[in-house]
Amino acid sequence: MGLKIPLIPEQASSISIEVDQMLYVLLAASVLFAALIFGAICYFAIRYRRRSELDIPEPVKSGWALQIIWIVIPLGLTMAMFGWSASIFLNHSQPPRDATQIFVVAKQWMWKSQHMEGVREIDELHIPVGSSVKLTMTSEDVIHSFSVPAFRTKQDIVPGRYTNLWFTATKPGKYRLFCTEYCGANHSGMNGWVYAMEPKDYALWLAGGPKGSLVAEGAKLFQDLACIKCHRDDGGGRCPALRGLFGQTILLTGGATVEADEAYIRESILDPAAKVVDGYQPLMPTFRDRVSEEEVVELVAYIKSLVRKPQGDAAGQKP
Ligand code: CUA
């Protein structure tokens, strides 16, 4: 089994080819000059070696012409490289006006993105192929950096301000997203995937699929707020499992009961200590300052959608 080491990432954005061409030319120039210099060193060392004790070199005579040549030629070459790379940089510094805007919030150690249509993602970013995408990014804590090697692009993300990055994906596929600024213990784990999709697939994906977008939004919010950590689906978490909860009669601490309807779920999110389920501790913090009413609606819709799987289907589930 041969080891497969990809030398360069896929070329998957509109600037990939340009950037690679520049890289190859710079690399070729470096290799050429390194070879010339080392070759000359070796050749001169042999050709002009000291042959005897009496061998005295002739004084070096060189005119202005030679000095000027070896100043002007390298200067011209480096200025050409500078001009070329600066033009690529400047051409791509301003996003097109019609670019699709997506917001990205980075934090230790995850990527959160929010589409204008309301779809949120974690460690994933879905984008359409063939049209420009502009990311407006900020951080909740330290400096991170958004990098997609296949797109040949990278941008630092700084807390307290927005930075923009834009690109046009040219090839549908799944591409690595990396954090490329050391941001703490789990920096190396702060990566994700960018999914470049055909426009029609992207539109379909944005529409949220057959379940409806409110539910999809709620599901993501549920992950985002880390509700899943305590409200584990298998019932092993520190808080009650929520599958099949909606519509049930719930026994509370102190013996009272309540019907799990929209109002109850809403109250439990914003004022969790008001009605604690029997057998559980009042551990849950309030989300009053963390979610808007619209987001509560999404969460309620999501929890309402968590129906129990049909009997027999759920292997290993307690009856
Ligand atoms: Cu975030 Cu490194």
DSSP sequence for 252-295: BTTS-EEE--HHHHHHHHH-GGGSPBTT--S-PPP-TTT--HHH
Q: Residue 38's pLDDT is what?
A: 97
Q: Each residue of 45-57: pLDDT tens digit?
A: 998 888 888 888 7
Q: Residue 76's pLDDT is what?
A: 95
Report the separation in Å between the CA atom of 189 and the middle of ligand 1, taken as the mean of its atom positions.
8
Q: Residue 143's pLDDT is what?
A: 93
Q: Residue 42's pLDDT is what?
A: 96
Q: Residue 307's pLDDT is what?
A: 79
What are the 10-residue block averages of pLDDT along the chain, 319 residues in total? 62 87 90 95 91 81 86 93 92 83 84 76 90 85 92 87 85 92 92 92 74 69 85 81 85 87 77 87 83 68 78 44
Report the separation in Å between the CA atom of 7 and the middle of ligand 1, taken as the mean of its atom positions.
24
Q: Residue 212's pLDDT is what?
A: 47
Report the separation in Å between the CA atom of 176 and the middle of ligand 1, taken as the mean of its atom positions.
14
**12 secondary structure, DSSP code:** -
Contact 114, 103 (CB under 8 A): yes
Which ligand 1 atom sits nearest the alpha carbon of residue 179? 2
Q: Residue 292's pLDDT is what?
A: 61
Question: What domains are defined for the chain?
Answer: 100-207 (2.60.40.420), 214-305 (1.10.760.10)
Which ligand 1 atom sits nearest the alpha carbon of residue 143? 1
Report the separation in Å between the CA atom of 93 and the middle of ligand 1, taken as the mean of its atom positions.
23
For residue 101, with 0-12 CB atoms within 10 Å meaning exposed, 13-18 middle and 19 or more buried, which class applies?
middle
Which ligand 1 atom sits nearest the alpha carbon of residue 108? 1
Q: Residue 318's pLDDT is what?
A: 40
Contacts of 286 (CB under 8 A, 6+ apart): 270, 271, 272, 273
Q: Residue 317's pLDDT is what?
A: 40
If you take atom 1 of ligand 1, which residue's CA is the nearest one? 144
Taking CB atoms and a 6 Å cutoff, what residues make up the pocket around ligand 1?
Answer: 109, 144, 179, 181-183, 187, 190
Between 262-270 and 293-305, two packed helices, what is the crossing angle to 10 degrees? 120
pTM above 0.95, yes or no: no
Q: Which of these, 120, 105, 135, 108, lies nearest to 189 by C-alpha position?
A: 108
Q: Residue 183's pLDDT is what?
A: 92
109: preceding bond cis by omega (within 30 degrees): yes
Report the separation in Å between the CA atom of 107 and the middle of ligand 1, taken as the mean of its atom positions.
8
